[in-house]
Amino acid sequence: MANPTIAAQLVSMLRDAGVERIYGVVGDSLNPIVDAVGHTADIEWVHVSNEEGGAFAAAAEAQVTDRLAVCAGSCGPGNTHLLQGLYDAHRSGAPVLAIASQVQSREIGTAFFQETHPERSFQECSYWCEQIGSPTQMPHTLRVAIQTAIGKRGVSVVVLPGDVAAMESGGPTVPSAMVTAPSRVCPPAEQVQALADAINAAGTVTLFCGAGCRDAHDEVMELAGRVLAPVGHALGGKEWIQYDNPYDVGMNGLLGYGAAHKATHEADLLVLLGTDFPYANFLPQRRTAQVDADPGHLGRRTPLEVAVHGDVGETIRALLPLLRPTTDRRFLDAMLRAHAAALEKVVSAYTRRVEKMRPIHPEYVAAQLDELAAEDAVFTVDTGMCNVWAARYLTPNGRRRVIGSFRHGSMANALPHAVGAQLAAPGRQVVSMSGDGGLAMLLGELITVRLHRLPVKIALFNNASLGMVKLEMMVDGIPDFETDHEPTDFSAIATAVDIPSLRVEDPAAVRDTLADGLSRPGPVLMEFVTDANALSIPPAITGEQIKGFATSASKMVLGGGVGKMIDLARANLRNIPRP
């Protein structure tokens, strides 16, 4: 009896590693892989409209399940389409394996039709990228790829010429144990002691948290309570830190709100926990300590007094016995008051008489969506102004997820992310917060949603503008140019591909439309025609930026936090002892 093909062996190994689906577009050099999927139980091929969408979908699946996800692209353009989604997955720490098909091996190096060199193209967006050239090479090569993606939390790429994939394998796969999750990094005792000494010596401390706090919510809260520290977060840390947080002072950065910027700059010591926050101009360049499981993150944004290489949870558990409890609440209470005041100040701009104001305030749509969405909803968020509305209006609770291209910043991610999230979690409500610019860029993924009958709810913020680009121009003092475009009726497009759609121009209909759309079975597109001038500025701006706004802006709506974040701020404020 003949051995299975390399393709069949590869697909079986993926299935045995827990992979349930491969996202991609079928193509000639991928035919052996696609055929093998069709003849292998418990693994499926998920057809997408663009390989870029497939890579985004795999990235979201990996983030929802915390397991390996797989995408594939045929030779040449098929696999180069994967690049944006793989950059997003890699920078988001999502364990994704990409199968990059290649032209027949005898043609490599001859400038053959559709020939590229994937082993070069994918180097920057992967931890591991190698080509398979022989039957005996495949099993151990695939194992290394899988283990690297899982262990390092990022992308691995297997390059496979079509003719090699069709070859007979070298024999049965030898069973081999594989790691299914990365291990936690335990910090050296001397680094933990140095951090304890710095905290004990500081009069006031602020904690600033990122995605590395994912499994350390309780530990961060205990640390904040021990030293009475305000707790701010980056966008990546929002879903893990903001909920059940009596020390919350909001978010710092370009999308920030509340008192996080103030707290990070006025504390005697700032402690960065699990964040590679990229905006150095929003960080104090003094009195800073940092804890991170990736040593490459330590000190690359701001000079450090203390650097700790370790998992956040492991570090805090080792740190707590070394700390002297703080009893002076004045700094914490002042920051909580500043946070509440910052939120209260802008509430009326978006909540008073908004049902009568046209165009619709996008902030109002986001706030209503937050109230009506399921308690365990998965939100996928387009880059641009949708990031702002999600950052300021979605309320985490420890069960919800918020997924976006927060590090790579690619447009068009929300809908394909929703495809992967929905397939990974069929019993959960998945909401794509899409901008019209992002949706238009990968519009074909509407067909993917319909093809697979996915019950994705698409909340479309249609302002006929590239709002974030407009904002960036205004900050630079440049009159916005080519950011606005002819309005498009996306609901008509959705209807044309057999997705039920609801289009809203009347603010009074926003809440009922959301309630209706979210409750329907199957996919729904809810299109809200929103104000293109509803822009947002950071919590702290420079004189040059103010000058830029004054020069270029004729109308500006300043953003801020409302809804449940206001309730949380008020609740925290009530806990402050009155003088």
SS3 annotation, 236-285: HHHHHHCCCCCCEEEECCCCCEECHHHHHHHCCEEEEECCCCCCHHHCCC
pLDDT digits (tens, 9 = 90+) for 248-290: 999 998 888 899 999 999 999 999 999 999 989 899 999 999 9
Residue 2, pLDDT above cutoff 80: no
Task: Look at residue 346 and tell me if it is in a domain.
Answer: no
* pLDDT attached to residue 559: 38
Helix, strand or coil for residue 442? Answer: coil
Same domain, 332 and 248: yes
Task: Look at residue 31 and tell me if it is in a domain.
Answer: yes
Task: Look at residue 308 and tell me if it is in a domain.
Answer: yes
pLDDT digits (tens, 9 = 90+) for 120-156: 999 999 999 999 999 999 999 999 999 999 999 999 9
Q: The domain containing residue 115 runs over which residues?
A: 6-165
Residue 355, pLDDT above cutoff 80: no
pLDDT digits (tens, 9 = 90+) for 314-325: 999 999 999 999
More confident residue, 569 or 373: 373
Q: Which pLDDT band, with edges at 50, 70 and 90, does 549 fall under? A: very low
Same domain, 536 and 488: yes
Q: What is the arithmetic mean of pLDDT over 503-512?
A: 96
Q: Which pLDDT band, with edges at 50, 70 and 90, does 112 fall under? A: confident
Same domain, 321 and 376: no
pLDDT digits (tens, 9 = 90+) for 30-73: 999 999 999 999 999 999 999 999 999 999 999 999 999 999 99
More confident residue, 288 or 562: 288
Q: Which pLDDT band, with edges at 50, 70 and 90, does 579 fall under? A: very low
* pLDDT attached to residue 561: 39
* pLDDT attached to residue 575: 52
Q: Using the 8-state DSSP alphabet, how is residue 558 labeled?
A: -
* pLDDT attached to residue 562: 47
Same domain, 534 and 401: yes
Domain tally, the chain? 3
Contacts of residue 206, Cβ cutoff 8 Å, sequence gap at least 6:
229, 230, 231, 232, 249, 263, 264, 266, 267, 269, 270, 271, 335
CA distance 147 to 153: 9
Whichever domain contains 44, its CATH number is 3.40.50.970
Q: Which pLDDT band, with edges at 50, 70 and 90, does 173 fall under? A: confident
Task: Look at residue 103 and tell me if it is in a domain.
Answer: yes
Q: What is the arithmetic mean of pLDDT over 549-568?
A: 46
CA distance 539 to 294: 28
Whichever domain contains 282, its CATH number is 3.40.50.1220
* pLDDT attached to residue 538: 61
Residue 536, pLDDT above cutoff 70: no
Residue 312, pLDDT above cutoff 50: yes
Give the chain's mean pLDDT. Answer: 90
Same domain, 390 and 502: yes
Q: What is the DSSP string of 368-427?
A: HHHHHS-TT-EEEE-SSHHHHHHHHH----SS-EEEE-TTT--TT-HHHHHHHHHHH-TT
For residue 404, list its beta bridge partners: 381
Q: What is the arithmetic mean of pLDDT over 75-83?
A: 95
Contacts 24+ apart (CB under 8 A), 136-143: 136/170, 138/6, 138/9, 138/10, 138/169, 138/170, 139/9, 139/13, 139/170, 139/173, 139/174, 142/10, 142/13, 142/14, 143/13, 143/176, 143/178
Task: Look at residue 402 and tell me if it is in a domain.
Answer: yes
Task: Look at residue 576 and tell me if it is in a domain.
Answer: no
Residue 356, pLDDT above cutoff 80: no
Q: Which pLDDT band, with edges at 50, 70 and 90, does 177 fall under? A: confident
Same domain, 193 and 297: yes
Q: Please state, for a pLDDT cut of 70, what percent of the chain lies above it.
A: 89
Task: Look at residue 178 and tell me if it is in a domain.
Answer: no
Q: State which of 337, 371, 387 marks the end of a domain.
A: 337
Q: What is the arithmetic mean of pLDDT over 457-465?
A: 93
Q: What is the arithmetic mean of pLDDT over 168-181?
A: 77
Same domain, 385 and 531: yes
Same domain, 277 and 130: no
Asked whether the whole model's pTM tops 0.75, one would answer yes
Residue 359, pLDDT above cutoff 50: yes
* pLDDT attached to residue 65: 96
Q: Which pLDDT band, with edges at 50, 70 and 90, does 167 fall under? A: very high
Q: What is the arithmetic mean of pLDDT over 561-568?
A: 51
pLDDT digits (tens, 9 = 90+) for 234-250: 999 999 999 999 999 99
Q: Which pLDDT band, with edges at 50, 70 and 90, does 426 fall under? A: very high
Q: Which pLDDT band, with edges at 50, 70 and 90, does 557 fall under? A: very low
Same domain, 239 and 371: no
Same domain, 113 and 256: no
Number of neighbouring beta carbons within 10 Å of residue 181 = 11
* pLDDT attached to residue 352: 57
Same domain, 371 and 279: no
Q: Which pLDDT band, with edges at 50, 70 and 90, does 532 fall under? A: confident
* pLDDT attached to residue 515: 98
Residue 187, pLDDT above cutoff 80: yes
* pLDDT attached to residue 423: 98
Same domain, 366 and 333: no
Task: Look at residue 386 and tell me if it is in a domain.
Answer: yes
Q: Which pLDDT band, with edges at 50, 70 and 90, does 350 fall under? A: low
